Amino acid sequence: MKPNSRKPEAGDLRGRALAHLTRREHTRTELARKLVAGGFAAGDVEPLLDEFEARNWLSDRRFAESWVADHRDRAGRIKLAFDLRRHGVAEALIDDVLASQRDSEAARARTAWDKKFGIPAANPAERAKQMRFLQGRGFAPDVIQRVLNDRGDD
């Protein structure tokens, strides 16, 4: 199958952008990157994205809230923030969206730890392994310490 070498027409831009948005939420940065990579001129893309934001069809906040809702059970605040930055979400918006997650961070870390290990570490090597697992999931060091020091006495 040959790659499509024809240059996209300006009328295709709106349809392509809407097709991306019907599949899932996108950030402005992410959608612009996809459209420019698809052969559309950046000068044509920006006004369209402005219109989509004005109509509330495109929203970085909605993307961030959706992303966090979909990934919060498997990841901590640090990883969620990293992923949102990678998608082009502004730092202030990341802080705002993740502020509501602080209360449940320890409970989510405990759930991840229970699912993977379930029993306290028998030796320092096992404890280090459990710590690395939770760090890899993006949980903060203080949260990890609370989870590993808690022996289920609550």
| Inter-residue contact 113 to 52 (CB < 8 Å) | no
Give the start-to-end residue ranges of the domains of the chain: 8-58, 105-149
The tokens of 50 are what? 């402005």
Q: pTM for the whole thing?
A: 0.78
Mean pLDDT across 77-88:
95
Provide the pLDDT for residue 154.
Answer: 39
SS3 6: coil
Sequence-distant (≥ 6) Cβ neighbours of residue 113 within 8 angstroms: 130, 133, 134, 147, 148
CATH 1.10.10.10 correct for 8-58: yes
pLDDT at position 9 is 63
Q: How far apart are CA 101 and CA 96, in angstroms?
A: 10
Q: Which tens digit of pLDDT belongs to each residue from 118-130? A: 899 999 999 999 9
How far is 45 from 49, CA to CA, in rounded Å?
6
